[in-house]
Amino acid sequence: MQATPTVSPFTQPQQSSGATAAAGAKEGESNPALNAADFQNFLKLLTAQLRNQDPLNPADSTEFVAQLAQFSSVEQLVNANTKLDNIASAMVADGIEKYAGWIGKKAEAIDAPAYFDGTNPVEYRLSGLSEASRVEAVITDPAGQEVTRFDTVNGAMVQSWNGVVDDESAAPGVYAVTALYYDEDGKVIGEEIANTFGGVREVRLEGDEPSIILEGGVDLEPDQVAGLGQKE
């Protein structure tokens, strides 16, 4: 028997931890409070310089004008950063709105596990490999441990695993489906992570990009969704 493949779709977090609204401050994003503090510090330094200058040897007028120009530039930069942050927030909100219509639909997920609720079969789809004489589906848990394996059809149609392991129903949870392709001599000539299916529960903001959350907490990026359909 061939060893369980090392390929695993468990690369996405299975339980979402982000807030539905905007997530925390992102790397490189301007901080309005910090900008305001810098502006106030600059103002204090300039005031202290004027207060403590030698009245018999005041600051050169040209230098003073240059400092005032810097003061104006700092103020403009603070305002510009605030406006850019507002624009960025609005664009992210539009991104969530674009995917809101996916909620309640059945999604076909690329390189992702599927949730087994203890009753309904786990559906999956392979690409198929014409050179293969036999195909085996390997079911693994989030720890990468093999749960069961069985022969499956070599083709791109939707197939399913009934959730049975050793004549008993598997525990509810998230499982991956990987296909192993064999030649006539029983040698593995290819392996593939099957596309799986799950209902879209919600859309969240995770950093800069929306996350599509399926049943069981399966977390996808939008480009991992190969198709949408009506949930049965």
- Read off the CATH number of the domain in which 134 is found: 2.60.40.4070
| Domain assignment of residue 201, yes or no | yes
Do 175 and 128 reside in the same domain of the chain?
A: yes
Instruction: Please indicate, yes or no, whether residues 108 and 204 belong to a single structural domain of this protein.
Output: yes
Model pLDDT, residue 1: 47
In this prediction, residue 76 has a pLDDT band, given cuts at 50, 70 and 90, of confident
* pLDDT surpasses 60 at 32: no
**Residue-wise pLDDT tens digits, 119-130:** 999 999 999 999
If asked whether residues 58 and 166 sit together in one domain, one would say no
Is there a single domain that holds both residue 96 and residue 202?
A: no
Same domain for 195 and 91, yes or no, is no
| Least confident piece of the model among 89-103, 129-143, 171-185, 191-205 | 89-103
Do 85 and 111 lie in one domain? The reply is: no
50 and 82 inside one domain: yes
Distances (CA, A) of 179 to 9, 116, 126, 127: 12, 18, 7, 10
> Structural domain of residue 176, as residue ranges?
103-230
Report d(CA 156, CA 97) in Å as an integer.
32
Is 91's pLDDT higher than 70?
Answer: no
